[in-house]
Amino acid sequence: METMASVGEFALIQRFFTPPSGPLPPGVVLGVGDDGAVVSVPRTQQLVVTTDTLVEGIHFAADADPVLLGQKALRVNLSDLAAMAAQPRWYVLSLSVPGDTPVVWLEGLVSGLRQAAQRPAGEVVLIGGNLTGAARGSLSITITLLGLVGRDRAVTRGGAQVGDHILVTGTIGDAALGWAIQRGILTGVAAADQAALLQRHHLPDPPVELAIALQESAFSRSAIDLSDGLIADLGHLCRASRVGARVHAERVPLSPAARRQVEQQGPALLARLLGGGEDYELLFTVAPSAVAAVHVLAEMMGVPVTEIGVITAGSEVVVTHQDQPLMVEAGGWDHFGGV
């Protein structure tokens, strides 16, 4: 069986990462194959940069499907750019892979990356990277993703204003439930619900295009991607904006599978879902006058959007469930402690 070590670094790069000949993709002056890549940033645009790593044993299991991993590795970075409302354009990939890893694993990863790179506005282009060995059991995948946003148009965590409505895309908590199922912590879930929740754990779907459309319409005053847990991330946004927030837990959108778990286990589980991480949905705030237009835009783009609360004066994030206080462990997804 071909392994990474038997084929070797240079042949692997040649086989999997050398771009097809032909015209260069938009903005790329020099792609994979030199000491660095060169790209051109239009003068009306600024560059947005983010980086995220998936580590074996921390973010995924040794037997994880490499195609899903490739997709997830790029998508978690797309989620960060969505939060900034930037158009994803180019990425570099740093892979540390044990030498005895089969080459078909790399083939799967590259295929997953390519799938995730296909976006409505065009392909996100691999422009460089690094491939190196690693100790067994410590495979890691780092992506640095570059995007473009109009000059001074990036949406940040710092723009929320008192009275803004707080909205989230998609549904919350599915990934945390999928993670718990994967680890054997959550059992007794119906097969169809298990599949749905695992899918959401493996394959986040950040609303990149909606985030850009919201920014282009100047609807979103502030935004953050939900990676550490809804309440933890809302806390980050509130600190950056020097405001507080009130969240109505019963309004937080749940998938049918998650709703069935909450109905069985009660509000304590709901609280855990608001603390759980890796939703990779967008939380954003909008002036009251813009809320109706945001719903129209989101519906046009086919992205579910739900109001879950309001930005308040002060600095506290208050969560209630049917007007009773709800305690959420909002420490976030600490990658040294796990959840």
Span 17-36, contacts to its own copies by CB under 8 A: 29-30, 33-36
- The answer to the question of residue 80 lying near its own copies (CB under 8 A) is yes
Residue in 95, 93, 101 with CA at minimum distance from that of residue 74: 93
**142 touches its own copies by CB under 8 A:** yes
How many other CB atoms are there within 10 angstroms of residue 23's CB atom? Answer: 7
Which of 16, 17, 60, 90 touches its own copies by CB under 8 A? 90
334 binds its own copies per the rule CB under 8 A: yes
Q: Can you give the C-alpha Rg of the chain in angstroms?
A: 21
Q: Which two tokens stand for residue 322?
A: 């049917």
Minimum CB–partner distance for residue 233 and its own copies (Å):
10
Sole window of 149-157, 191-199, 248-256, 301-309 interacting with its own copies (rule: CB under 8 A):
149-157
Cβ closer to its own copies: 239 or 260?
239
50 lines the binding site for its own copies (CB under 8 A): yes
Least gap, CB of 200 to its own copies (angstroms): 20
In angstroms, what CA-CA distances link 198 with 8, 72, 163, 233?
Answer: 34, 13, 36, 22
Please check whether residue 96 is in contact with residue 137, taking contact to mean a CB–CB distance below 8 angstroms. no
Question: Cβ–Cβ contacts within 10 Å for residue 20, how many?
Answer: 5
Query: Is residue 8 near its own copies by the rule CB under 8 A?
Result: yes
Task: Rule CB under 8 A: choose which of 67, 73, 83, 117 binds its own copies.
Answer: 83
Interface with its own copies includes 152 (CB under 8 A)? yes
CB atoms within 10 A of CB 322: 9
Q: Is 149 in the site for its own copies (CB under 8 A)?
A: yes
Tell me the site size for its own copies, rule CB under 8 A.
Answer: 75
- CA 253/CA 31 separation, integer angstroms: 42
Q: Which is nearer to its own copies, 9 or 209 (CB)?
A: 9
158 binds its own copies (CB under 8 A): yes
Residue 282 φ/ψ, nearest 5 degrees: -105, 130
